[in-house]
Chains A and B, each alone.
Chain A
Amino acid sequence: MNSFTMSQALVNTRSSLRLMPVRRAALEQFIAHGLPTSHEEDWKYTSLGHLEKTEWHTPEGAPIVSNVVLGTEEYPGEVMHFSNGHLNEASPQACYARSLAKQADSAPVVQHLDTLTRATALTQLNSALWQDGLFLHVSTKDTSADASAPLFAVYSAGEAGAMLHLRNLIVLEAGAEMLLVEHYRGTPDLAYWNNPVTEIVLGEGARLTHLKLTEDSAAATHTGLTVVQQARDSCYRALSVNLGGRLLRQDVEVNLMGDGAECRLDGLFIADARRHIDQHLHIEHAASHTTSRQAWRGIAAGRGRGIFDARVVVQPDAQHADAQQASANLLLSPHAEIDVKPQLEIYTNDVQCGHGAAVGQLDEAQIFYLRSRGISADVARALLLRGFADAALGLLKDTGLAEWLEPHLTAALPRLEQERAA
């Protein structure tokens, strides 16, 4: 990876002319600063050095990723399928869900795109090189029968050496409601790099429930940012299920700008084999009576590594803010590691804040209890693991998505048992 290939990628990007100066400026910035290094506090645990050594390219056109390779999957809802960074023409499109590339010059995109992201190197690279992504624009008049069903944005990667800078813009107008599922997946063992940026704008009283399932290939790198801005009384509920990739770095930033805004960020990660999963959450309470909840669970096995770094900032104007952070983690192998860093920064007096974090092992006493009921040791461990993981998935209860997620979860959990036996 060098500045020439990045510039070449920009030349090859088909883009609205309006955005070209923005893209060029962003690329210059990226080239000037380069990828983040472990000298930066936020990147202490995660090195992107391997990205430097690869010649990445942005895939052209919209090749259909073979379903023979990826397998077919039934999605219980409307699907927007992006293959190698481009929207499949065959995707059905609800009126409120479109290609961002095609809508790049529409009024809401002009108004909101690139307004939320902080200028970090990775987001600048995305701003320079994005080819397409989901543009979701929902107003109350869409909140009819079809907007209450989930929308699945599926991102498939099927080209070795591809860098996929997907860009999603989600705008919910005042009072709108939506259930959105992002699913990242790739051809098994293929080395590619996903670097999606998702900007979410919630108007007054808008409610978004957002599930992000990451199942990238075991050789893939995924660096993703989701940034949310919330107006008065809006509600953002998110569940991240991080099961894949060789290296996954997930940044989530939520800005509670309006009084009474609420967010809930839940997550589950499974870092087995040599997987490295680094999650950084940042919540800003910038208005009064705002509420945030974080409940994250992690499992690390083999030589897996997990990081949960969550910062909540309560600004001086955020009286009566209520913030709770919880992180529970299981280590299944002596070579696995989980680092937990919950942080509260409070600049006002009248708040309710708390955090709790724990890293432990499967409890031998619990295993004995189950075995004493005739359940074999392996099944007992599997039951306990499953119970532990399920406790992170409470958000699914009223979404009807638990059944869809089930096979993904069961596929991820037994890997742990194989490792333990090895």
Chain B
Amino acid sequence: MLHIENLHVSIDGKSILTGIDLDVKAGEVHAIMGPNGSGKSTLAQVLAGREGYVVTAGSVRYLGHDLLALEPEQRARAGVFLAFQYPLEIPGVANVQLLRAALNNLRRARGENELDAMDFLDTVKSKLALLGMDDSFLYRAVNEGFSGGEKKRNEILQMAVLEPRLAILDETDSGLDIDALKTVAHGVNALKHPERAVILVTHYQRLLNYIVPDHVHVLAGGRIVRSGDARLALELEDKGYGWLAPDVQGNVQGDVQGDVPMEAPREGRL
């Protein structure tokens, strides 16, 4: 489904990814682990099409397409979904408005009819119930004033509604309390399907207690330094990232954090 070959990426002339090779088949769950600054989030953003990243070498094939040649919205319509590490607040746009616009765009791209308001609401409400979320979520502005945990759950709600072929979760587990973590895991496990694949980008092992990966890759210094099965994550938990990437310090076993508001440092906000 996804075939990444020798991917090199830089930002502002600084090399971040230095030769990634990764093969993800339909039905698989891959975990990409690594210390801070290893390039995990860059990989996730590049796959979703974020501007500002320069691919200096390598290729990414997705379902036979050259993924890097597609605009972000075309990737989404082709079934790629990124759950953001720092979901954006969109003031003045209701959650339900975004979900409906997004879903109907996808349906059009797949040659399906747009859902009318009633059918759409039925679909969304079944997903809300699946995730144990309240209907009032729908009528709030997208992520505005949401706690960190609510933002992450909202990402999972979007994923559940849009039913992507390839879901990439960028540190969706960070900043979550244990209940929210279980909700997120439940949402991901419900999406599992022989025709779909999931990439979990995470710093910590604990999410993998709830979503068992088929493959685990350790990213350090912009490259995959070790791949293995689910046992690799447990081994990392024991030994720390210093085991595989001697020049970095990092704790694999994250403390369980509270459900706290979280802000990414950004520019140009009103």
Contact = CB atoms under 8 A, between A and B. Distances in A.
Interface of A: 328, 330, 358, 360-361, 363-366, 368-377, 379, 383-384, 386-391
B90 interface: yes
A383 B73 CA distance: 15
B76 A373 contact: yes
User: 3 closest Cβ contacts across the A-B interface?
Assistant: A387-B92, A374-B76, A371-B72
B268 A374 contact: no
Contact of B270 (A328, A374, A390): A328
Main secondary structure of the interface of B (DSSP, over half): mixed
Contacts of B71: 371, 377
27 contacts: A330-B270, A360-B270, A363-B268, A364-B268, A365-B266, A366-B88, A366-B89, A368-B72, A369-B84, A371-B49, A371-B76, A372-B72, A372-B73, A373-B76, A374-B106, A374-B162, A375-B73, A375-B98, A375-B101, A375-B105, A379-B101, A383-B97, A384-B90, A384-B92, A386-B93, A387-B91, A389-B92
A376 B106 CA distance: 11
Contact of B105 (A364, A374, A386, A390): A374
A45 B266 CA distance: 32
Contacts of B91: 387-388, 391
Contacts of A330: 270
Contact of B93 (A328, A374, A383): A383
A360 B269 contact: yes
Given A374-B73, A375-B73, 15 more contacts: A369-B84, A371-B49, A372-B49, A373-B98, A373-B158, A374-B76, A374-B102, A374-B105, A374-B106, A377-B71, A383-B97, A384-B92, A387-B91, A389-B92, A390-B92
B193 interface: no
A375 B91 CA distance: 17
B101 A372 contact: no
B109 interface: yes
A416 to B, nearest CB: 15
Contacts of A363: 88, 266, 268-270
B72 A358 contact: no
B201 interface: no
Contacts of A391: 91-92
A374 B77 contact: yes
B77 to A, nearest CB: 5
Nearest to B93: A387
B134 interface: no
Given A358-B270, A360-B269, A374-B105, A366 B90 contact: yes
B234 to A, nearest CB: 32
B92 to A, nearest CB: 2
Contacts of B72: 368, 371-372
A365 B84 CA distance: 11
B50 interface: yes
B240 interface: no
Interface string B123-142: 00000000000000000010
B82 interface: yes
Contacts of A373: 76, 98, 101-102, 105, 158, 162
* Size category, B interface: 20 to 34
A144 to B, nearest CB: 34
B49 A370 contact: no
B46 to A, nearest CB: 12
Contacts of B50: 368
A308 to B, nearest CB: 14
Contacts of A328: 270
A365 B72 CA distance: 12
Nearest to B161: A373
A370 B89 CA distance: 11
Given A360-B270, A365-B266, A383 B101 contact: yes
Contacts of A370: 90, 98
Contacts of B268: 360-361, 363-364
Contacts of A389: 92
Contacts of B101: 373, 375, 379, 383
B87 A369 contact: yes
A379 B82 CA distance: 19
Interface string B104-116: 0110010000000
A158 B81 CA distance: 54
B203 to A, nearest CB: 22
A363 B48 CA distance: 18
B124 to A, nearest CB: 14
B92 A371 contact: no
Residue from B84, B88, B269 whose CB has the most chain A CB atoms within 10 Å = B88
Contacts of B82: 372
A239 to B, nearest CB: 16
A270 to B, nearest CB: 15
A384 B142 CA distance: 11
A340 to B, nearest CB: 12
Contacts of B49: 368, 371-372
A365 B88 contact: yes
Nearest to B109: A374
Contacts of B263: none
Contact of B73 (A358, A364, A371, A388): A371
B43 to A, nearest CB: 15
Interface in B163-177: none
B119 interface: no
B247 interface: no
B139 to A, nearest CB: 14
A387 B266 contact: no
B88 A369 contact: yes
Nearest to A366: B88
B83 to A, nearest CB: 10
A376 to B, nearest CB: 5
Given A369-B84, A369-B87, A369-B90, A376 B270 contact: no
B256 to A, nearest CB: 28
